[in-house]
């Protein structure tokens, strides 16, 4: 096994590095199956335990998928979501050639807690509509979405097939409510049991939580969402302008 200048690395890390490099340069393209354990043991001249540790690390990084009874496969490339414009899941997936679908988990009237009320400019306890869905890309659960709508809008939206019709499209095209801007808040959290179950991941897995409040005319908040994304399937990107510093030379 060629290790170049990485002789200080543990053996499993060397195996992991070589396989990750093959995935990165396309030698092992998305969807391709990794060689079986015995082949990797012979190739790298290491123990089974070492190979398994390397495979586990690659899976934890989201580079490969272990499919029981089938083998180990290179995972699809991560979905890249741009945070420079307001767009919905369906629009995002179609833009990168993925097929978006949705699975409705629940829709109901609830009393707005302080967070929901604040984001929708309501009094705590006001009745709102909560919609819970799992969003899928090419059939793979990607995000667990909680959407909160003011009652007068939500009562209309829930009459539609929410596994087929995007909420953004309903608000704008069906009900004439333009979505002009949004506030995003992004943080890393650990998946609670119900979210992990919906996404097909282990409880406590690292996921992204995006809180998004969308505004219409007159800075009116009309849609508040808590979007839980699988950490192994998505990356967020943005482009920032340099802040004016008044000529300071500090970095």
Residue range of the domain that includes 130: 79-237
135 with 233, same domain: the answer is: yes
Q: Which residues touch 116 (CB under 8 Å, ≥6 apart)?
A: 122, 128, 148, 224
Helix axes 48-60 and 37-44, enclosed angle (nearest 10): 110
Compute the average pLDDT of residues 113-131: 98
Buried b (16+ CB within 10 A) or exposed e, 118-133: ebbebeeeeebbbbbb
249 domain-assigned? no
DSSP 109-171: EEE--HHHHHHTT--TT-EEEEEEEEEEETTEEEEEEEEEEEHHHHHHHTTS-TTTS-HHHII
pLDDT of residue 62: 78
Residue 111 belongs to some domain of the structure: yes
79, 233 Cβ separation under 8 angstroms: yes
145, pLDDT greater than 80: yes
Mean pLDDT of 80-95: 88
pLDDT confidence bin for 246, thresholds 50/70/90:
low
Is residue 3 scored above 70 in pLDDT?
no
Of 149 and 251, the structure prediction assigns the larger pLDDT to 149
Number of domains in the chain: 2
φ, ψ of residue 62 to 5 degrees: the values are 80, 15
Q: In angstroms, rounded to a whole number, what is the distance separating the alpha carbons of residues 111 and 127?
A: 5
Read off the pTM: 0.76
Q: Where are the alpha helices (DSSP H) in 61-88?
A: none
Residue 2 binned pLDDT confidence (cut-offs 50, 70, 90)? very low
Q: What is the mean pLDDT of residues 138-144?
A: 93
Do the Cβ atoms of 105 and 94 come closer than 8 Å?
no
What average pLDDT does the segment 182-189 reach?
Answer: 96
- For residue 5, pLDDT over 80 is answered with no
Average pLDDT over residues 165-183: 97
Task: Determine which of 18-27, 121-130, 157-166 has the lowest per-residue pLDDT on average.
Answer: 18-27
User: Domain check: are 51 and 159 in the same one?
Assistant: no
As a whole number of angstroms, the distance between CA 79 and CA 57 comes to: 20
pLDDT recorded at residue 251: 61
Q: Per the structure block, which two tokens stand in for 67?
A: 């499919």
Task: State how far Cα 224 lies from the chain centre.
Answer: 17
The verdict on residue 153 lying in a domain is yes
Q: The domain spanning residue 20 has which CATH number?
A: 1.10.10.10
Average pLDDT across the chain, whole number: 92
Residue 60, in any domain of the structure? yes
The per-residue DSSP string of 156-175 comes to HHTTS-TTTS-HHHIIIIIS
More confident residue, 247 or 138: 138
Q: pLDDT: is 55 or 240 the higher one?
A: 55
Q: Judge whether residue 174 has pLDDT over 60.
A: yes
Of 8-12, 151-155, 214-218, 243-247, where does mean pLDDT reach its minimum? 243-247
Please state, as a whole number, how many other Cβ atoms lie within 10 Å of the Cβ of residue 109.
12
Considering the domain architecture, whether residues 19 and 60 belong to the same structural domain is answered as yes
Predicted pLDDT at 77: 78
């Amino acid at each position: 096994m060629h290790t170049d200048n990485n002789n200080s690395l543990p053996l499993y890390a060397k195996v992991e590095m070589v396989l990750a490099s093959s995935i990165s340069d396309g030698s092992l393209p998305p969807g391709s199956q990794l060689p079986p354990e015995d082949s990797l043991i012979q190739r790298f001249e290491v123990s089974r335990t070492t190979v398994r540790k390397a495979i586990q690390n690659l899976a934890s990084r989201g580079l490969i998928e272990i499919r029981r009874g089938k083998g180990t496969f290179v995972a699809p490339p991560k979905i890249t979501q741009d945070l420079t414009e307001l767009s919905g899941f369906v629009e995002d997936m179609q833009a990168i050639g993925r097929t978006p679908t949705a699975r409705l988990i629940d829709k109901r009237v609830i009393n707005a807690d302080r967070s929901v009320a604040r984001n929708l400019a309501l009094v705590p306890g006001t009745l709102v509509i909560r919609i819970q869905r799992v969003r899928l890309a090419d059939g793979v659960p990607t995000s667990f979405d909680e959407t909160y709508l003011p009652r007068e809008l939500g009562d209309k939206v829930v009459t539609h097939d929410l596994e087929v019709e995007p909420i953004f499209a309903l608000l704008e095209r069906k009900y004439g409510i333009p979505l002009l801007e949004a506030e995003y808040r992004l943080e890393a959290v650990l998946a609670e049991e119900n979210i992990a179950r919906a996404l097909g991941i282990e409880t406590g897995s690292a996921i992204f939580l995006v809180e998004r409040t969308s505004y219409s005319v007159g800075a009116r908040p009309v849609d508040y969402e808590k979007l839980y994304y699988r950490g192994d399937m998505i990356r967020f990107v943005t482009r920032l302008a340099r802040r004016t510093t008044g000529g300071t030379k500090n970095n």
